[in-house]
Amino acid sequence: MSRRLLLLSYVATRSGNRYTFPVSNRSIDRHPTVLTPRSETNWWKNFRDPHECVPSSREGTPRATGEVVGDDDRETVTSAYLESSRLMQFAFGSYEVGSGRTDDVRPRLVAVRFRLEADVLS
């Protein structure tokens, strides 16, 4: 596992099923943060309200609370995430190699921020 990849595990709010899958993350304001396309995924809907999860990485397997970043902070968080890597810009379609053209994909993305158990308790 790399420092940019984690396994997100949570129990779905409606079905009660446990899901675990890899996600790319960036540390934004010292919190693991994940971007996902709003219309192409639906896992993020479980985090519209604070929701317990386990974001496992090579640093460990802490308990955490994940929550969709609200409208007030969404643009700042998505911009910081995309600016962290040209690869992420390309992955989300905001950069075309060789053309220098950029598209504003931020409105089409959802950011989910994870507060690790140690952060929640302090």
Domain map of the chain by residue range? Answer: 5-121
Q: Is the whole model's pTM more than 0.85, yes or no?
A: no
User: Mind listing the pLDDT tens digit of every residue in the chain (122 residues)?
Assistant: 467 889 999 999 999 999 999 999 999 989 999 999 999 999 999 999 999 999 988 778 889 999 999 989 988 998 888 888 777 777 777 655 455 555 677 788 899 999 998 654 44
d(CA 47, CA 13): 9
Residue carrying structure tokens 């950011």: 111
- Residues 69 and 113 sit within 8 Å (Cβ to Cβ): yes
For residue 33, the model assigns a pLDDT of 95
* CATH number assigned to the domain with residue range 5-121, chosen from the 4 options 2.30.110.10, 3.40.47.10, 3.40.50.2000, 1.10.3720.10: 2.30.110.10
